[in-house]
Structure 1
Amino acid sequence: MNPKVILFDLGDVVCRFVPERRLELLAAACGTSPQDVREALYGTGLVDLWDQGGATAGRIHETVRSELGFKGGRAELERLWCAAFDPDHEVLRLVRASRPCRTALFTNNDALLLSALPRVMPQVAECFDKLVFSCELGAKKPDPRAFEQALSEMSADPADAVFIDDKAENVSAAGRLGIPGVRFHGADALTETWKTLFPM
């Protein structure tokens, strides 16, 4: 293989995803319980709506203030939002080593995280040529439209790309569109895959 573009998932690929940490920090900031935060954001379908582009970053901040009583500013909420992600430095090393391939962070996430990532986690955002978020695409993986628009964002054909994700259904969806997919099973396994993608 000789890919020109590599699409990396965020949660549990580039970063370990720890949603409980976000819930706990938000709960502490709002004087409520993590369960109440989960219900207000996830149980109502708000997060899914936001991931599909249903609100700007500013609107998400306003909603968290009105629904949960959050009193902090936008910068503080961005910090709490990003707290759910722990960078995997071995994976980020592989991202940097993949040049001159162009790279994209291709994730199902909302406008608040898209706004926050370059400021709160520049060590992640700066590794990629482009941040491709479902909130801007109007579709989430495994929807074929999300993949098609991600390729369009990168000006790439399916056969020129490689897609890396931890979820089997997303890798399968990419394959049906002719995009070679790699199921993520940890940085060590991905390092071995890199030897196939980029033989010395």
Structure 2
Amino acid sequence: MKNTNYDAFIFDLGRVLVDFDHNISAAKIAKLTGKPQEWLYQLFFESELTKLFDEGKVSPREFYAELKKLTGLDISFDEFVLIWVDIFSQKDDMFELVKCLKNDYRLVLMSNVNTLQFEYIRKNFPIIAEFDGLVLSYEAGAMKPDPKIYQAAISAAKTTPEKIIYTDDRPELIEGGKKAGIRKSFVFSNLESFVSDLNVIGVEINECMEAIKS
């Protein structure tokens, strides 16, 4: 049953709805190039190049070309894409939660993500189809914790910030949500702790979750 104090949820994607590991692609490219896996991980996950890609300021082929220069990678674009995107797995328990919430709340996905990886996720993980709004860094031109992307997510939620519940696995991004006015913002660690957080604020979903599992 809906708690009328809230109209919408904003969910992060990685490590909330899907798991991922950049070490999977880093290990494959390390074998192909002889570059250290740790260095490749940093390049894929924390570099300015990847930030620009996630913000949509570098195209997929430009990103691929720059990686070839930096790493000496000698494979086709299509072969690279297969390595780059095959790092995700859906969290089935969160899929069940999302389906429960879908009955009563507007659902928005807000993610720092690039177009190659998101299109792979959209195609392969049905949880994405449950969302009413998608706010993606490569389309918004900004990444969390930039205030611009939070405002885009609030707009997609079609309600006021105080009637939104937001969860993300990174505390600094939760702080960004609170600064944007989303007071009910929770650091995500696992389904059980998040359901507990929801129970505290009066959002009861245990009955729905049990019904889906049975």
TM-score (norm 2): 0.78
Task: Give, in angstroms, the shift of residue 79 of structure 1.
Answer: 3.6
Give the Cα–Cα distance (whole angstroms) in 1 for the partners of residues 118 and 12 of structure 2. 14
Give the CA deviation at 1:42. 5.1
Summarize deviations over 1:39-83 as a string: whole Å, max 9, x none: 554565211121222123343344344544242343x44443333
What's 2:137 paired with? 134
Matches of residues 178-197 of structure 1 in structure 2 within 5 Å?
A: 178-179=181-182, 180-195=184-199, 196-197=202-203
Match of 1:81 in 2: 84
Shift of 1:194: 4.1
User: CA separation in 1, counterparts of 2:146 and 2:52?
Assistant: 15
Give the corresponding residue for 1:107.
111
The DSSP-based 3-state class of the residue aligned with 1:126 is: helix
**Pairs within 5 Å for 1:29-44:** 29-30=32-33, 32-38=35-41, 40-41=43-44, 44=47
What is the aligned partner in structure 1 of residue 180 from structure 2?
A: 177
1:55–1:111 Cα contact (<8 Å) kept? no
Larger Rg: 2
CA RMSD of aligned residues (A): 2.6
% identical equivalent positions:
21
Q: Specify which of 48, 51, 69 is matched with residue 48 of structure 1.
A: 51
Match of 2:29, SS state, is helix
Equivalent pair of 1:108/1:135 in contact (CA under 8 Å): yes
Gaps of 5+ in 2: 208-214
Gaps of 5+ in 1: none
Q: Distance in 2 between matches of 1:57 and 1:64?
A: 11
Instruction: Provide the C-alpha distance between the structure 2 equivalents of 1:191 and 1:70, rounded to a whole number of angstroms.
Output: 47
* Per-residue deviation, 1:181: 0.5
C-alpha contact 1:19 1:84 (8 A) present in aligned 2? yes
The whole-number CA distance in structure 1 between the counterparts of 2:34 and 2:76 is 12
TM-score (norm 1): 0.82
Please tell me whether residue 27 in structure 1 is matched to residue 30 in structure 2.
yes
Higher mean C-alpha deviation, range 126-135 or range 89-98: 126-135
Structure 1 residues 43, 104: closer, same or farther in 2, change over 3 A? closer
Total equivalences in the alignment: 198
Partner residue in 1 for 2:210: none
Query: Residues 44 and 158 of structure 1: is their aligned pair in 2 closer, same or farther, counting only changes over 3 Å?
Result: closer
Equivalent in the alignment of 1:144:
147
Displacement of 1:102 in angstroms is 2.1
